[in-house]
Structure 1
Amino acid sequence: MKARNLMLSLAVFAMGCHGFAADKGDKNLKGEVKLDGSSTVFPIAEAAAEEFQKLYPNVRVTVGLSGTGGGFKKFSTGEIDIANASRKMKPEEAKKAQDNKVEYMELPLASDGISVVVNPANKWATQLTLAQLKEIWQPGSKVQTWKDINPAWPAEKIKLYGPGADSGTFDFFTEHVMGTARLSRNDYVASEDDNVLVTGVTKDKYAMAYFGFAYYEENQKAMNVLALAKDKTAVVPSPKTIEDGSYPLSRPLVVYVNNKAAQQRPEVKAFVSFLLKNAATLSKEVGYVPLKEAVYTDTLKKFEAATGGPAKQTH
């Protein structure tokens, strides 16, 4: 977890330098706010939690890391207040929440792009088509070596690294590359911790991995990112190509908030308001792509309207 902790520390330090949106805090506010879910959203949520607790020292904010699917399992039973997600909620997950009478709001935080990376010693592969990526990752794939993709490439076995089945990154990647969510070969090193994947690809000359853009940016000196082509033009992930959607594997990062928790517990409402007010700066500091300012403003207004007005502060 060292790399993630370093990214979080740098984000919090940067936020301290640039400043959060105005919030006087409230030392009288007490309670607990529970979040869980996506490892991709984790750096944003954890940085916000640390700064929020400086302003609201008697509110305890816990941020879990069980993957998007794992977060939704807890959220749909009312076990947590907020689910961090790197994909939209699936129909069956929404039904489970409905069955348990858990009503919620979906709030956008930022954009991200899934990066496909290789070891820096890999000088032969610079780009792939989505069709080639599908050929590599599909169940029963006959691709075992780099030569199986391109006859000019080495006849060396590809060591594959990727997210585990509870990850929103896994769901999004498989849906957009395979055409069917959760359809994937299983003979690869899987982990919900992106740093395990980073370590794997940096230590193996013939490795390939996929994970969120922020983890590539943090480790870009130790790996190469591949350009991806949906049609004819191969595009490298960057803040610009992710924002304009030209990068084929761009995706939304969101939080799901329990309506009842936000409406009845001031500490939950205060944290969500704080998160939305600072999502743009937080996202940028940890390597994601902020949304347009108007999106955050509109989202905050809708959230406040649904929960009885702006979060109150008593001193």
Structure 2
Amino acid sequence: MTQDRSLDGVSRRKFLVGAGAAGAVALAGCQEGASTDTEEGLSGDIIVKGSSTVFPVSDQMAQDFMAEHDKVNVTVDSTGSGGGFENHFCPGEADLNGASRPIKDSEIEQCSSNDVEPVEFRIAGDALTMAVNNDNDIDCVTPDEMSQIWREGGAERWSEVNSDWPDEEIPLFGPAETSGTYDWFNENIVGSNTQHTARHQPTEEDETIVQGIRDNEFAMGYFGYAYYNSNTDAVKALEVDGGSGCTAPSLANAKDGSYPMARPLFIYPAKSALEREEVYEFMKFYLTQAETDIVEEIGYVPSSADLRDDNLSKLDQEANV
């Protein structure tokens, strides 16, 4: 991962507010002009909310798109997948929502009640990472051991899970309930018969999770791989044994499916927003660039050429181009 695309840089530019937007260009439908890269006249405001995991991708796409179209202002805010859907996207106050898990039926119903129709695009892959302090001697965990620690009423000391582990309390740092990462982890690792512990310190700021682990010798926490990838000196990633041996979180292991906590990442535009030329062009740019090394440099698995082409075809269909 190159330094100029590190998460340190991403956090410094977290909320972009560009100047000089000349007002939205509203078209009755995205016909021939919408599918071309209009160098003059493309303008307007685009609001992106949602997943903190997807945030660095959307943020980089926004910067690169605005560099080509200086009259378009794209603002990107990290609100969590669920927080973005519930508070911004489904009420009709955001054009796009990033998500680190698929949209829920209840969210589709909420959107529908406000005449918002979400359109799903899978844009990358992630290796969800469980991390500990660098001074911790533990190197590998199983899904069951993670569940014992992260479930409601679960183990509060390392030794309660494994007698060979330290007899020390485990400070926990993780996503808030509004996070798609929280939802994915709760469903796939904590387990369907129990609930995620409320004992952890929740946040939508993944860098805060990194800092909590770094500053507490026996701490534990989880986040998207990109945040580990930019903080490899600050924390240690645990390998995960899903039954086939300990496997490290990596882009290669996420891509081939050998890593037990690999998962897809999504972006959801509102179908009505795609009728605006600037939103259509931004989505076209986003889906095209998602197959490039931009995504890999951030710390995620890029979409394939086939997925890119399928996404672009779906975009034209949904936008009636």
For the criterion TM > 0.5, the same-fold answer is: yes
Q: Find the residue that maps to 1:69 and give its secondary structure.
A: helix
**Per the alignment, do residues 27 and 298 of structure 1 end up closer, same or farther by CA in structure 2, a change over 3 Å counting?**
same
CA RMSD of aligned residues (A): 1.9
**Per the alignment, do residues 262 and 56 of structure 1 end up closer, same or farther by CA in structure 2, a change over 3 Å counting?**
same
TM-score by structure 1 length?
A: 0.88
Distance in 2, matches of 1:290 and 1:91, equals 27
2:148 is aligned with 1:145: no
2:281 is aligned with 1:278: no
Kept after mapping to 1: 8 A contact 2:174/2:221? yes
**Pairs aligned (count):** 292
2:20 is aligned with 1:6: no
1:233 corresponds in structure 2 to 245
Shift, 1:178, TM fit: 2.1
Q: Give the ranges of 4+ consecutive aligned residues of structure 1 lying more than 6 Å apart after TM superposition.
A: none
2:93 is aligned with 1:79: yes
2:272 is aligned with 1:269: no
2:45 corresponds in structure 1 to 32
1:251 corresponds in structure 2 to 263
Distance in 1, matches of 2:192 and 2:298, equals 30
Query: Counterparts of 1:158-197 in structure 2 under 5 Å?
Result: 158-180=170-192, 183-197=195-209
Distance in 1, matches of 2:213 and 2:193, equals 24
Distance in 2, matches of 1:244 and 1:229, equals 16
- The one-letter amino acid of 1:90's match is K
**Per the alignment, do residues 51 and 209 of structure 1 end up closer, same or farther by CA in structure 2, a change over 3 Å counting?**
same
Distance in 1, matches of 2:200 and 2:257, equals 29
> What residue ranges of structure 1 are gaps of 5+ in the alignment?
11-22, 310-315
Shift, 1:231, TM fit: 2.2
TM-score by structure 2 length?
A: 0.87
Kept after mapping to 2: 8 A contact 1:162/1:211? yes
- The one-letter amino acid of 2:57's match is I
Distance in 2, matches of 1:54 and 1:267, equals 14
**Per the alignment, do residues 290 and 299 of structure 1 end up closer, same or farther by CA in structure 2, a change over 3 Å counting?**
same
Distance in 1, matches of 2:283 and 2:8, equals 22
2:107 is aligned with 1:93: yes
Distance in 1, matches of 2:197 and 2:317, equals 45
Distance in 1, matches of 2:194 and 2:69, equals 40
- The one-letter amino acid of 1:217's match is N
1:198 corresponds in structure 2 to 210
2:60 is aligned with 1:47: yes
2:18 corresponds in structure 1 to none
**Per the alignment, do residues 64 and 39 of structure 1 end up closer, same or farther by CA in structure 2, a change over 3 Å counting?**
same
- The one-letter amino acid of 1:299's match is N
Tell me the percent identity.
Answer: 35
1:19 corresponds in structure 2 to none
